[in-house]
Amino acid sequence: MANEMWGGRFAEGPAAIMQEINASIDFDKRLAAQDIRGSIAHCEMIAAQGIIDAQSAEAIVQGLRQVKAEIDAGTFTFRSELEDIHMNVEARLAEIIGSAAGRLHTGRSRNDQVATDFRLWVRDTIDAIDASLADLQQALAEKALEHAGTVMPGFTHLQSAQPVTFGHHMMAYVEMIGRDRGRFQDARKRLNECPLGAAALGGTNFPIDRTRTAAALGFDRPTANSLDSVSDRDFALEALSAASILAMHLSRFAEEIVIWTSAQFAFVKLSDKFTTGSSIMPQKRNPDAAELVRAKSGRIFGSLMGLLTVMKGLTLAYAKDMQEDKEQTFDALDALALCIAATAGMVRDMEPDAKRLRKAAGSGYATATDLANWLVQNLNMPFRDAHHVTGRLVGLASGKGVDLDKLTLAEMQTVEPRITDGIYSVLSVVNSVKSRKSYGGPAPENVKKQAKRWLALLVREKRALASK
């Protein structure tokens, strides 16, 4: 029998394996809300343009709303033989209102329809991600404010470098997440053009109003080239690129949580909410949430590479290869949403061990740079000379098995006779941190100022969003 979608050109239906490989309804049914939104906007536009009569348009819109209600209620039957969400919706619409349903597709194609649906879904998802990232920033900034003066070791090469504060460390991630939000917002700006009306690839000779449709769907403008409109998936690639960089940031933080919660470090504690036990070792408390955030970065990176590979060899305009754009985008952004929520939960849950952190902050001669700076500031010594003197003092302390502040003044003066007891003011980790007040530095007053600035900004954003 002829295929009911493709009409008279085909005398027989597809082979079973062809139907299976061709169908996308199992995953693109997630676009149902966007598909119906786009169809209503298109229907109202072609009615306003006199392309279809008002009575048919009213029936179509009411029928589409019924279809959406059935999907929302879970009573809609998705049929794989109808391939995708677009044909499933249209087929059910025909059952509800009859032949008038056939007028809905006037002036459009499944090519511009899916491009519009997918853009709407990515845009909606970016908005949800942005809100969850703002919540993560709030959690980090609140923790930073609480621990602005909690001294901890700062690392380079995972070796003790200089003392910082736990709050300063949290604020580093606030800044990272801020850049991530900016990348998603930039991607949203570029995707916010409407492909609907580009039809299959070459536009249409119906007198449609693409500007009206774009405005109805919240787009800034219609896309300017019909070929590009249906073949572009840059918007998904940009979202996945931003997602990959964000996932990398979340993975770095997760790695730190894994290290910090280990018995060897014991810098922070996580409660039962974000840890699991062992089936054989009763003493274990495993940071599984952090480990899974770390691991999920791989599947997000893979989704970006997968879609880049799908698109790299495609000529203009549309090709069925593009059906492979959605599953990996859905999967990556679903995984990302989970990672953001889990990270925010861990931030609010974790408790730093202030005593342990302070003790660790002084290990590895972490105030050596402060000592060198003191020599420059107080003895007018060139920094390279001060660096050399400090290195000798570290060697002296190391040979005695003590920290720098445990060297006597007489011992220090064997290396540099002009050293005075004023040097001890910079050798404690607390004073070291307090002294570094340069913009962006870890002094507690700096950390408090930055945390309060971000928290105020996040409150203003939330209010602005609520007023829309």
Active site residues: 157, 278
Distance CA 37, CA 117 (A): 8
* CA angle at 382 for the pair 376 and 386, rounded to the nearest 5°: 65
Residue 15 gets which letter from DSSP? Answer: P
Q: How many residues does the chain have?
A: 468
Hey, what are 188's tokens? Answer: 């949203």
Contacts of 192 (CB under 8 A, 6+ apart): 119, 123, 218, 219, 220
Amino acid occupying residue 383: F
**Contact (CB, 8 A) for 219 and 210:** no
Contacts of 101 (CB under 8 A, 6+ apart): 60, 63, 90, 93, 94
**Contact (CB, 8 A) for 168 and 447:** yes
* Nearest CA among 151, 112, 220, 204 for reference residue 367: 151
Distance CA 296, CA 302 (A): 10
Hey, what are 193's tokens? Answer: 């053009």
* CA angle at 148 for the pair 145 and 154, rounded to the nearest 5°: 130
Hey, what are 21's tokens? Answer: 């490989």
Torsion, CA 154, CA 256, CA 130, CA 145, rounded to 10: -50
Quick count: other Cβ atoms within 10 Å of Cβ 292? Answer: 14
The two counts, helices (H) then strands (E), for the chain are: 18, 6
Contacts of 298 (CB under 8 A, 6+ apart): none
Residue 164, SS3?
strand
Distance CA 77, CA 70 (A): 9
> Which stretches does DSSP call E strand in 290-390?
351-352
CA 17 to chain centroid: 37
